Structures are given as structure tokens and as C-alpha cells.
Structure 1
Amino acid sequence: MVEQAGPYLTAAVSAYGTAVLVRAQDAALDAAVEGTAGVGRRILDLVWRRRDGEERAALEAAVQEAAEEPEDADAAAALRQQIKRALREDAELVRELAALLPERGGVTVNVSGTRAIGARHIGIAATGDHTTIHPPQS
């Protein structure tokens, strides 16, 4: 579930920066925010409300690092780890978070660029000029 929430968290941190936690506390003021960033903000709001002072400080530090270094996979992982820790400790939070996330099952593949390949499952794929594919040797 945390992995599924990852893109929403990233979008929220990208859209709001470190202010996402302030925005989460004032969720009623911007309940109209929809889309990926809005879902991420609501996830952070749920987690934030259930944390104590020390846990909030850790969450805030993870959000700040992710906002300051948006391309850093480790910073994003640290934020996901904070969410994961909260979920392990709170079964009700798991249920609420599951209600926010879209149903799993559908597949969306976005492909762009010259010779880009998009596939759910792929065997052999080749793009480029003068590509030759040789069958495996027995």
C-alpha cells in the first residue's frame, strides 16, 4: 500500500513543498484540491493527525528532505518509510488510507518519445535503426 501511495506523496510534496504539512492541518480550507497531489496531501493529513510530537518531527523532516531533493530516491524512500511505520502501528489508518487510494487492477501505461515502448508484459522489444534480433541458440 505504501508503494501505491508513493506517487501521490511525491506529487503532494512537489506541489506544496514543505508547506504540505501546514496545508494538511488546514485540509478543510482546500478540500477542493483534487488529483494526485490532493490525494497525497490527504494521505499526509491522515498520518500527521495520528502522530505524536516526536513522530511528527520525523515526518516533517522526511517531507522537508523530499521537497528539497525531489529527484533523490532515498529522500522519497525515507518519506514512504514514515508512512509505513505509521501504518504498522494503526489498523484504522490502514483502512482510511486504503479508502483514499484508487482500486488496484487497472493498468495505465504512459509512453512518450520517439521509439518509446509501453507494455504491461514484454518479451523481446527493440527500437532503433537496423536492429537485428537473433533467436536463442539451442
Structure 2
Amino acid sequence: MSLLAEVDTLLDQIMPAVEAAAGAYGVGVLTRAEDEAAGATVRLGQRLLARILRRGTDAASVEATVADLAGRGEDPDARAALRRQIEKALRDDPQFAGELSAMLPERPAVPGTGVRSVSVTDNAGIISTGDGATNILYR
């Protein structure tokens, strides 16, 4: 997978948590200690934002963009602005992308998407994914 595709995939995983944290706490998300009442996504967003800010590059700009997102709620332009800033940081430093990726929880496997999974639109025969299976079609 190319770096561009990896960054896009990582952004798709990071942004919901970051947006949830900004939405839940507004600008306070930048300094608020973890709260037991906060959901797992919000806490993850807090940790991701804290790590992004500790990175140092453009921290003030990221803070301003988080504040803007918090003030504008679901505004797609504000969300896109924060995504672009995080995307730039990830593209500029692949090692940083690895650090953020390591902070994400393991994603459970989605049924039907494993190595031996089968996706069928139209079938007139046998479909088998078992080891050593013998399939005989009688007509």
C-alpha cells in the first residue's frame, strides 16, 4: 500500500475520535484531563490530539483549528481543515503516522472479509473455503 493510501486510511480512523473529542469538550479538549464519564472515542480523541500537539509542528495552528471545529459543530469545512492539518503532519513524517496508528485500538475482523472469505453476487455452483474439502456437484 502506498504512503498516500496509508495516510488516508489512518486519517479515516483518527478523525472520528478527534472530532468527537472536540465536539464533546470544545476548546477544553486541548487541556482537559481524562474524565471517567467520557466515552472511549472521546478519550481516544483526547490522546490523539495531545500526541499531535506534543509533536510541536504547527501546534498553535492545530489548536486554532480544533477551536474552530468546536465552535462550528458539524461544519464540514471546519472538519476538513483539521483533517488537512493532521494529514500534512502524517505525510511529512511517516514515523509519526506509525506512532498514531499504534495508539488506535485493534479493529475486530468484519465477518466476510477474511483471507478465506467469499463474496458472491450470483452463483450456480459450489463455493467452498474449507481445508481439504472434497466437493462434488451432482446433476
Q: Same fold (TM over 0.5)?
A: yes
Counterpart position of 1:86: 89
Residue ranges of structure 2 left out of the alignment (5+ in a row): 1-9, 112-118, 122-139
SS in 2 for 1:106: coil
Instruction: Provide the aligned C-alpha RMSD in A.
Output: 2.5
TM-score by length of 2: 0.64
Counterpart position of 1:46: 51
Counterpart position of 2:116: none
Would you say 1:61 and 2:59 are equivalent positions? no
Counterpart position of 1:73: 76
Alignment of 1:1-138 (within 5 A): 1-23=10-32, 29-30=33-34, 35-52=40-57, 55-104=58-107, 106-107=109-110
* Regions of 4+ moved over 6 Å: none
Counterpart position of 1:130: none
The higher radius of gyration belongs to: 2
Report which stretch shifted further, 65-74 or 30-39.
30-39
Counterparts of 2:70 and 2:15, CA distance in 1: 14
Kindly tell me the number of residue pairs found equivalent between the two proteins: 103
Deviation at 1:92, TM superposition (A): 2.8
TM-score by length of 1: 0.64
- Deviation per CA, 1:28-73, whole angstroms, max 9, x where unpaired? x538665000001111011100124xx1121011101110011101
Counterparts of 1:57 and 1:96, CA distance in 2: 21
Counterparts of 2:34 and 2:106, CA distance in 1: 24
